[in-house]
Amino acid sequence: MPPPVRAALVGFGYAGRTFHAPLIAACPAMSLEAVVSRQVEAVVNAWPDARVLASFDDVLADPAIDLIVLATPNDLHAGQAEAALQAGKAVVVDKPFTLTVAEARHLAALAEMRGLLLSVFHNRRWDADFLTLQTLIAEDRLGPVVRFESSFNRWRPEVRDRWREGDGPGAGIWYDLGPHLIDQALVLFGRPLGVTCDLAILRPGGRATDYVHAVMRYADKRVILHADMTTPAPDARFAVHGARASWLKIGLDVQEDQLKLCLTPGASGWGVDSRPGVVIDGATGAQDAVAGPPGDYPAYYADVARAIQGGAPNPVPPGEAVAVMEVLEAGLLSAERRAEVAL
């Protein structure tokens, strides 16, 4: 059995603390060796067996580290990922991959040239509802999909003092939630013909995009992606309409809340959807609640470890993350032009 992959986490903000650290630590084929953070006390209290490193340069030079996980502000992703690859480390980047398509393509080419794993944390491929939807489509329960609506709404009427809601590069909801919505759509349907996107700042005092409504045009369907921070009733998640039936889903995947409660990833009850979606038959109106598989964020790092140890497939290869960035960048251009951007 190969030795565990020795991982270093860079950044101990919300993403690093809530998602990456516990998922890495729960992976039998990985060990959380080090955390790069100024929050020394917080790291020691949460992960006393991990070394706390003062700087990113320290982890680049550390021969005991196999994998660097970047959970840093979005505008640092490209530069840090390049430095990690040049240092001979495998890399996981939290979404969004980069800020531009050019940066994403450069990193993908560099990882290939160096023969190193580069993966992007598109964890919502392992949401319970998305896994269920993939099964429904594979089993042709709905018929050919003609309209797909995916929403990720929040009720945060007050603007917070944090970089995600500031006016710096990579801030705003299109960079934050857009990659989740785009990636799921691309997994299901592939590359669209064009993208039309409306971006806005709707909250008083807002400095970053807090509303997005995008339409991805396909020859035989329309994919509608929506996210905002101004919805008092944010529960509607999916409405998928096929030629024979629809699937409606209320409520978000539970794994983020379970991680916030410090539950051990993969424990009993992990990822179980308490509000399964409903299939509604078009001809009869009959409704059938479909309890699909539980959500499985731990699968991502298990697959990353296997890819590093033995050449198993990368769970989110950089080419797929580049495709997400192409749609994201097209959305920015569409909002600027107030017109569809072809892909």
- 322, part of any domain: no
Which domain covers residue 59, as residue numbers? 5-122+299-315
pLDDT along the chain (343 residues), means of 10: 95 97 98 97 97 96 97 97 98 98 98 98 98 98 98 94 90 97 98 98 96 98 97 94 98 97 95 96 97 97 97 96 98 98 97
Q: Are residues 81 and 158 in the same domain?
A: no
Domain count, the chain: 2
- 180, part of any domain: yes
At 80, list the tokens.
Answer: 């840090």
- pLDDT for residue 316: 98
- pLDDT for residue 311: 80
- 155, part of any domain: yes
- 201, part of any domain: yes
Q: Are residues 261 and 138 in the same domain?
A: yes
Strands (E), 236-338: 236-242, 245-250, 278-281, 287-289
- pLDDT for residue 245: 98
Q: Are residues 215 and 262 in the same domain?
A: yes
- pLDDT for residue 163: 86
Instruction: Round to whole Å and give the CA distance between 48 and 21.
Output: 12
Q: Are residues 272 and 197 in the same domain?
A: yes
Q: Are residues 186 and 288 in the same domain?
A: yes
Q: Are residues 149 and 134 in the same domain?
A: yes
Residue 282's CATH number: 3.30.360.10
Q: Record the pTM.
A: 0.97
Q: Are residues 133 and 218 in the same domain?
A: yes
Q: Are residues 164 and 16 in the same domain?
A: no
- 191, part of any domain: yes
Q: Are residues 171 and 112 in the same domain?
A: no
Q: Are residues 93 and 165 in the same domain?
A: no
Strands (E), the chain: 5-10, 30-36, 51-53, 67-70, 90-94, 118-121, 145-153, 194-200, 211-217, 222-228, 236-242, 245-250, 278-281, 287-289, 341-342
- 153, part of any domain: yes
Q: Are residues 273 and 168 in the same domain?
A: yes
- pLDDT for residue 234: 86
Q: Are residues 155 and 192 in the same domain?
A: yes
